[in-house]
Amino acid sequence: MSRLLARFRLVGANPMFRRLWVGQFTSELGSSMTVLALPLLAVAVTGSPGRASVLATLGFLTTWLTAVPAGQLADRVAPRRLMLACDTVRLAAVTTVAAATLLGGPPLWLLGVTTVVSGAAMMAFGPAAAKMVRTVVPAEQLPEAVSANQIRGYTASIVGPSAGGALFALGRAVPFAADAVSYLVSLLCVRGLPAGRDAEATARTWPRLREGLRVLRRTPFLLATLAYSVPANLAVSMLLYVLLLRPGAAGGGIGASLSAGAVCGLLGSTVAAAAHRRFGLWRVMAATGAVRAAAALTAAAVGGPVGIGLALAAVLLLAPVVGAAISTTTLLVVDYEVYGRVSGTTSFIAGALQPLAPAAAGVLLQTAGATAALAVVAALFALCVLAVLAGRRGLAVTVPAAPDPVPA
């Protein structure tokens, strides 16, 4: 444990990484506040939960459909420049919502535009920030850097929604004003990062999208992780909707399960780098799929909200472990110049089946019951294990040796 903490302190001593981490924690905390505040505001101004739910659909479609073009943009524009532009766009969006709320309440169309604009900017910001991590962090420290970023995200997701609800109770515009301040902090932090340069600027052409597909086809690691991620993403989403849609679901119990899952994700993030270094990528992925399948089968046998909630907690506990391992290896394997396009393409493909999750969970619950739905989830996780075993050679990627911890 002491060596693990020492390695985290080593990457945390990097001033550029620390600046990036602080800025992104602040903006993610602000965004997690508005995740709850936005639907609350939509219901308040429309009086219709059904109409307000359109925003969730818009958000999902935006993040999925913009993954590929956002990745292309990240390979065209220097990371710092793109990050500044994305933060500026999101700052303008939430500021507009806050101002409109103070003036009496924004129309639903404005909330929809804000959802689309903010989601598209977020998708472009992600690969740019990952390329910035690769720029400011040595390769041997990448596992700890990726894990530290996941700790940041889970911490924001635990604190943010509760804070957003409390601020919304003080005033409908308050959480959006707080989110705007968080983007200002992020802008200040990003401005101090290395500038970099625009790619292919001399040719005055956009990076070719097919380059991302070419790299994907020729890289066994990427093909193997996609074979794992497609069923895994569908299974995780289905498990969540089984919890949300099952007959007799109670809001308090669901909230407790989601909070417990976020805490488990935070705990998993702390050991992700150590697990990756010790066991290797394919073992981590295979073990994760097996444990998740066992958790879903146990939930099917136990039944009730407790069983499903515990299964979700187990799934989310392991999510950052396998997520950090895949993200770290991708940063090491994929060339910097095509990272954005590869990241966007893989995100698009990996999430292709997720729109089916709510409908699949609902149909199974209605026609066959929760036990059958959980059995299908378990089968999808078992498919993940088979995908890992089939692609084991491609997943045998060596991680750079861990840096020696700085003596206390």
Write down the residue that tokens 């990726």 correspond to: 146
pLDDT score at 266: 82
Q: pLDDT for 264-288, tens place per residue?
A: 878 888 888 888 888 899 999 999 9
Under 8 Å between Cβ of 152 and 28: yes
Count of residues for the chain? 408
Q: What gap in Å lies between CA 55 and CA 234, rounded to an integer?
A: 21
pLDDT score at 4: 52
Q: What angle do CA 215, 218, 222 make, to 5 degrees?
A: 75
Under 8 Å between Cβ of 342 and 334: yes
Under 8 Å between Cβ of 27 and 187: no
Q: pLDDT for 4-18, tens place per residue?
A: 555 556 676 889 999
Q: What gap in Å lies between CA 310 and CA 385, rounded to an integer?
A: 21
CB atoms within 10 A of CB 389: 14
Give the CB-side neighbour count of residue 136, counting CA atoms within 13 A: 26
Distance of CA 160 to the CA centre of its chain: 15
Q: What is the CATH class of 1-197?
A: mainly alpha
The one-letter code for the residue type at 348 is F
Query: 1.20.950.20, 1.10.150.120, 2.40.50.140, 1.20.1250.20: which CATH number matches 208-398?
Result: 1.20.1250.20
Average pLDDT over residues 43-51: 75
pLDDT score at 243: 73
**Share of residues in the chain with pLDDT > 90 (%):** 37
Residues of the chain with CATH 1.20.1250.20: 1-197, 208-398
Q: What gap in Å lies between CA 183 and CA 65, rounded to an integer?
A: 24
Distance of CA 339 to the CA centre of its chain: 17
Average pLDDT over residues 106-132: 92
pLDDT score at 83: 95
Give the confidence band of 201 by pLDDT, cuts at 50, 70, 90: very low
Give the confidence band of 203 by pLDDT, cuts at 50, 70, 90: very low
Q: What gap in Å lies between CA 135 and CA 21, rounded to an integer?
A: 14
Q: What gap in Å lies between CA 139 and CA 273, rounded to an integer?
A: 13
**Cα→Cα distances 403→10, 91, 200, Å:** 8, 38, 34
Average pLDDT over residues 354-379: 86
Q: pLDDT for 212-264, tens place per residue?
A: 888 888 999 999 999 999 999 999 888 877 876 666 554 445 555 666 667 78
Q: What angle do CA 387, 392, 397 make, to 5 degrees?
A: 125
**Cα→Cα distances 324→79, 273, 276, 329, Å:** 21, 7, 8, 8
Cβ burial, residue 60 (10 Å; 0-12/13-18/19+): middle
Residue, of 202 and 385, whose pLDDT is higher? 385
